[in-house]
Structure 1
Amino acid sequence: MFRVFNLTQERIVFLFALALLAAFAVFLPGFSAPDNLLALVRSVSVLGILGVAMALVVIGRGIDLSLVSLMAMSLAWSLQLVTNGMSLAGGLALGLVMSLVFGIITGFLIAYIEIPAIFATLAMGILIYGFGRLFLIDLDVVYLPDAAHPIVWIGAGNLEGIPVPVLVFVLVCALAALFLRYVKSGRFIRAIGDNPLTSRITGLPVRPVVVMQYALSAMVGFLAGLVTVTSVNSMNTRIAISTFVYDIILVVVLGGIGLSGGRGGIRNVIVGTLLIGILINGMTIMNIQYTVQNVIKSVILLAAIVADTIINPRDEQTAQQGDI
């Protein structure tokens, strides 16, 4: 039936998001207020940026459960370095280097040691959080120091009435889409995700590209962290052990990017971010408990994974250990 109406998962989710937006606007007092809508798009920008980071990995038949942990700890360390007297540029540079190093290590473990991505990134996420709290960061919450105020506009500024985080999200989406479509290494990511064995046989540099995926994910995650800390003037490191990473996976899978790799694109991230942003905002206005919200999002994630399995079935060739 869906084929008759040319309905893909992306289009179904987009139509559902519009229907949900209309329903909330009619039945929820204050939802359609300009201030609330502005807060909605600002709040989902970080989720969308992280969704792009995750998409770059998932399209290449991977997954990154360490993304939030790395974002939180690298930015928290940067803020602490600046608080302790280092220059703003130096602190941010070291935080970015930390993020890149851990991203490359994760990619190396997956590409060369051949640890399944889901286990490698889960372990790295725990390691990054423990390492950061033990050796780098003293407190759970690190606040934005006075020396970092020149960059507050990244998370709290507006340009012609449009929140800067939204513009950052749009820019990240545009660059990622161009990278996947026109840059050779970006096309390699999609080819490897579609069929890694054939890619290896045809001579594509499969292992270096896998490492590159996780390095790119780490860089985009660091940018998302920068938007976060300049929006709320702090970084709570406990987000590293929260369920936030599953919200990111939900955005990616719900938008229509197949976990089996090689399918979907940045447009799917935008659609998934739109739906989850509307849903979270509506549930918050309805004063639904955080635990109940997590249950609802978990059910949606499970349904999205089931739908992905049906729409993108995996045969014997693609169902090898470590595909995701």
Structure 2
Amino acid sequence: MASRHTRLINQEQIVFGLTVLLFVIFSFMLPNFLASNNILSLLRSVAVLGMLGLGMLVVVLGRGIDLSLVANMAISVAWTVQLVSRGVPLSVALTIGIGFSLVAGLINGLLIAYAEIPPLFATLAMGTFIYGFGRAHLITGTDVVYVPQTIGWILELGQGTFLGIPMPIVVAAATALIAYFFLRYTKPGRFIFAVGDNIAAARIGAIAVRPILALQYGLSGAIAFLAGVITATSVQAMNTRIVDSNLIYDVILVVVLGGVGLSGGKGSVRNVIVGTLLIGVLLNGMTIMDIQYTVQNVVKSLILLVAIVADSVINPRDEQTGQQGDI
């Protein structure tokens, strides 16, 4: 009977119900909440968060975590923008930037897959290295790198519209759709689920586990770069101090909150979307009510704590996961 209830009412459905409830409450409480401009602003404000959540989803499904995600995003895109400002052709700068992001992600994967360093420590160290190396050797002398007007068509990704919908929302939706088809209909996508569900069984089933682990982090790096491009072109700058913000915790929050199991092998793109929408509605409502930023962080922290506790109950860590040191 318990298992039947678990199937009928899961965390994703509860979070979706809370999102709808908050949406209805804010609609009655806040006069401008239902305005079309505010709804588009709400979705646009969480578009990058949702994209980063998709990058985190790919690694969490395989029993990992990527704490270098924000550092990779900030430094790779800031370097790209600075190269363009110095006269490097946009195509070359983009190739260098995404190459840096992919290599950083793949190094994470290699450290975890072949050196068998726990993902928590490997990605934390890599994030610190990326930020320090980037500030010291790639974008020296400034915290904020401004996007020049001469950067061309790429500005449309952050500032343009498609059928009246801001491009950040369109790009986030397209990224979610691609991630969905990749995880559901491709062999590497299904292998990621298999590795996360039971790594020993995956090996017995002739799945190349180590290359799959490396692939996860490479994909995470690529998504981080795209999210960074949207961020930079939206505000025409990339502030590298974003690495010191709470953004990485917000990314983990939307993933866990939506119902993705930190023990691996359980979750979907839909979970990330649901978690992102709840946080978007909540933050938008609190912002309209002029609630202080520090109070908003406290609320998000409490929600993250509750979500992690719920995850530990719904998706308990098994003995193998505990031995690996994964989250």
> Which TM-score band applies after superposition, normalised by the shorter structure?
over 0.9
Specify the SS of the correspondent of 1:235: strand
Map 1:111-260 onto structure 2 (within 5 A): 111-138=113-140, 139-260=142-263
Are the equivalent residues in 1 in contact too, given 2:143–2:239 (CA < 8 A)? yes
The Cα of 1:29 is off from its aligned counterpart by 2.8
* Percentage of matched positions with identical amino acids: 58
Paired residue type of 2:135: R
| TM-score normalised to structure 2 length | 0.96
1:85 to 70, 84, 87: 87
Write the distance in 1 (CA, Å) between the matches of 2:77 and 2:156: 17
Q: Deviations over 1:238-277 (max 9, x none)?
A: 0012110000000000000000000011010110111011
Q: CA–CA distance in 2 between the matches of 1:9 and 1:206?
A: 29
**Stretch of structure 1 that moved more, 21-30 or 271-280:** 21-30
Which one of the candidate residues 46, 60, 72 is aligned to 2:62? 60
Q: Distance in 2 between matches of 1:95 and 1:10?
A: 35
State the 1:5 CA deviation: 8.7
Residues 120, 326 of structure 2: 8 Å contact kept: no
| 8 Å contact kept, 1:88–1:147 | no
Runs (4+) of structure 1 exceeding 3 A deviation are none
Q: Report if the CA contact (8 A) 1:41-1:277 is conserved.
A: yes
Listed one character per residue, the Cα deviations across residues 215-249 of structure 1 (whole Å, up to 9, x for unaligned) are 00000111111111111110000001211000000
Q: Structure 1 4/58 Cα, relative in aligned 2: closer, same or farther at 3 Å?
A: closer
Deviation, 1:285, is 1.2
Q: In the alignment, residue 205 of structure 2 is paired with which amino acid?
A: T
Q: CA deviation at 1:307?
A: 0.3
90, 96, 99: which one aligns with 1:97: 99
Query: Offset of 1:189 from its aligned partner?
Result: 0.3
Q: Distance in 2 between matches of 1:123 and 1:30?
A: 44
Runs (5+) with no aligned partner, structure 2: none
Q: Which amino acid aligns with 1:182?
A: Y
For 1:283, the aligned partner's letter is M
Distance 1:285 1:109, change over 3 A: same
Residue 15 of structure 2 aligns with which residue? 13
Q: Which amino acid aligns with 1:133?
A: R
Residue correspondence of structure 1 range 265-284 to structure 2 within 5 A: 265-284=268-287
Q: What's the CA shift for 1:35?
A: 1.2
The aligned amino acid for 1:130 is G
Which residue of structure 2 lines up, in the alignment, with residue 320 of structure 1?
323
State the distance in 2 between where 1:247 and 1:202 align.
36
- 1:272 and 1:142 map into 2 onto residues whose CA distance is 31
Q: TM-score, normalised by structure 1?
A: 0.97
Partner Cα distance (1:148, 1:268) in 2 = 35
1:101-145 Cα distance to aligned partner (Å, 9 max, x none): 111111111110111001111111111000000001131000101
**Structure 1 position 38, deviation (Å):** 1.0
Q: Distance in 2 between matches of 1:217 and 1:68?
A: 11
Q: Which runs of 5+ in 1 are unaligned?
A: none
Could you say if the C-alpha distance between residues 65 and 92 of structure 1 is closer, same or farther in structure 2, counting changes exceeding 3 Å?
same
